[in-house]
Amino acid sequence: MSIIADIAAADYTRKLEGGLIARWSTAADTENIAELVSLVFREKEEDEPNKHIANIARILMSGTTPVMGPGDYALVEDPHKEGNPIVAGVCLQRMEWFYEGIPFLMSRPEIVAADPAYRNRGLIRTLFEFVHARGAAEGRLVDAITGIYYFYRQFGYEYALSLEGMRGIYLPAIPKAKEGEAEAYTLREATLEDVPRLHEIYTQHIGTGYAITTNIDENYLRWELEAWKDHPERTKFSTTQLIVKADGSIQGWFYARARRRTSSLNVWALYLASHVNLQAIMPPLLRALQNYGQQIPTEKPDAGAFSEIKFYLGESHPFYEVIDKLATIKEPSYAWYVRVADLPKFIQHIAPALEKRLLGSLVEGYSGELKLDFYRSGLRMVFEQGRLTTVENWRSTVLNNTADGGFPPLVFLKALFGYRTLNELRQAYPDAWVNNEVLFNTLFPAKPSLAIPL
């Protein structure tokens, strides 16, 4: 059995310095994990334990979620203390993404936690070795995480996909309805009977020019609608709202908070059916959201008066264009950390997308090499008549360097996933360069993505 398979196995354990033990979880660890994350995910030491994140951990460990099971938390325990407390943990969530329609499996490490008394011992590094090994054993080509500043760069990750981004509108800016005129579009909460239509609209939406998208299937949508009912400890965090035309047809859907935490109502992930008139939908949708926000309860007494609606729809979204003059609140996007352990394998997997980009381009039918120097490693791609025939690791030599371009380690991922243009990378990194710009820009154009954290 390989080292990767060994580490990925459910019964694998490792003795660490100080008598600590690293291992994979079982259902019996649920409450210890919940206790750890509730104490770690606080802003101040005097704050109450974070019940919300503890309940999320319980749900993830319940065996009912589509993304992981009770054996998918990599843990460190201290057997020398009463109750064998869990002192560090990283859970492994499983998702499927698309690269311009080509599916690939990915791993999402999440709820990364370490007891402050046990930090700076390399425990999280060890646990990332666990989750990376299990992901690799399952054939997962990409690891990605939404995390705090800088930290995950230590484990081979680079910012390479946009995350969130917001446009907001103050309530007085919302267009008023004409007196006596019925609204052309209204909202209603989704039910299980709506799942096929939700999936249809989502599929239509992600087919409109994104580089990376998330596979959200009907099973996941059903779980999302009903999961909170199966777990008494789970407060209903959000609702799935439908945009309904006067004739009863569903024109789009989104997630909105079920309880207001601050003065704003937050809206996520607006998906629209094909051939929808966004300008026509915008005014009644804003009014319906204003009415919805006035009706939902607040999560805490100091939430403040309801005063604005914030749309977290990514770095770019068609809806942003129709609310541009109204949206005076803006927040730039953050980013996903992305890791690709075997770059040639991933690029070979997405070869059909790269070959499609060559069709109809200025370099259609390209034959030749593209060798990229990453200074400590590199990549060689060979094309024959527009077909990608070879992808392999490659290393330049000091003399007779034949590289066609160069990027600092991991920076190429920003181009691979459409996160940044070549010009943007050259402006940020003086040691990023490419000889054949037309070929590179054709193969790796900047494009928006819709990578959804499930």
Q: Mean pLDDT for the chain?
A: 94
∠ CA 386-102-363 to the nearest 5 degrees? Answer: 20
Q: Is the pLDDT of residue 16 over 60?
A: yes
Q: Is the pLDDT of residue 231 over 70?
A: no
Q: Which amino acid makes up residue 258?
A: A
Residues 190, 345 contacting (CB under 8 angstroms): no
Average pLDDT estimate for 178-203: 94
- Candidates 6, 27, 33, 11; CA nearest to 90 is 33
Neighbour-count burial for 5-27, b at 16+ CB within 10 Å, e otherwise: eebbeeebeeebeeebebbbbee
Average pLDDT estimate for 4-24: 94
Residue-level pLDDT at 123: 98
Residue-level pLDDT at 175: 94
pLDDT tier at 128, thresholds 50, 70, 90: very high
Average pLDDT estimate for 119-141: 97
Please give the domain boundaries of the chain with CATH numbers for all domains.
Answer: 3-140 (3.40.630.30), 166-332 (3.40.630.30), 341-443 (3.30.1050)
- Candidates 297, 302, 305, 300; CA nearest to 259 is 297
The count of other CB atoms within 10 Å of the CB of residue 454 is 15
Q: What is the pLDDT of residues 401-427, one digit of tens each?
A: 899 999 999 999 999 999 999 999 999
Q: Is the pLDDT of residue 138 over 80?
A: yes
- Candidates 62, 59, 25; CA nearest to 235 is 59
Residue-level pLDDT at 77: 97
Average pLDDT estimate for 7-18: 96
Q: Is the pLDDT of residue 224 over 90?
A: no
* First CA to last CA distance, the chain: 33
Q: What is the pLDDT of residues 359-403, one digit of tens each?
A: 999 999 999 999 999 999 999 999 999 999 999 999 988 767 899
Higher pLDDT, 432 or 231: 432
What are the CB-based long-range contacts (under 8 Å, 24+) for 3-6?
A: 3/133, 4/133, 4/136, 4/137, 5/133, 5/137, 6/133
Does the CA dihedral 424-430-431-436 come out positive or negative?
positive
Q: Is the pLDDT of residue 260 over 70?
A: yes
Higher pLDDT, 304 or 25: 25
Q: Is the pLDDT of residue 228 over 70?
A: no
pLDDT tier at 232, thresholds 50, 70, 90: low
Residue identified by tokens 């569903």 is 250
Residue-level pLDDT at 279: 93
Q: Lowest-confidence range among 35-39, 80-84, 132-136, 164-168?
A: 80-84
- Maximal CA-CA distance, the chain: 80
What are the CB-based long-range contacts (under 8 Å, 24+) for 214-220?
A: 214/95, 214/96, 214/97, 214/98, 214/450, 214/451, 214/452, 214/454, 215/95, 215/96, 215/97, 215/98, 215/103, 216/452, 216/454, 219/66, 220/66, 220/454
Residue-level pLDDT at 68: 96
Residues ≥6 apart with Cβ < 8 Å to 15: 21
Q: Which amino acid makes up residue 419?
A: Y
Q: How many CA atoms does the CB half-sphere of 445 hold within 13 Å?
A: 14
Residue-level pLDDT at 227: 74
Residue-level pLDDT at 1: 52
Q: Which amino acid makes up residue 239?
A: T
Average pLDDT estimate for 259-270: 92
- Residue 194's φ and ψ, nearest 5 degrees, are -85, -10
Residue-level pLDDT at 114: 97
Residue-level pLDDT at 141: 98
Average pLDDT estimate for 101-111: 97
**Token reading at 8:** 């990925």
Q: Is the pLDDT of residue 5 over 90?
A: no
pLDDT tier at 181, thresholds 50, 70, 90: confident
Q: What is the pLDDT of residues 300-327, one digit of tens each?
A: 888 899 999 999 998 889 999 999 999 9
Q: Provide, rounded to the nearest whole percent, the portion of the chain with pLDDT above 90.
A: 84
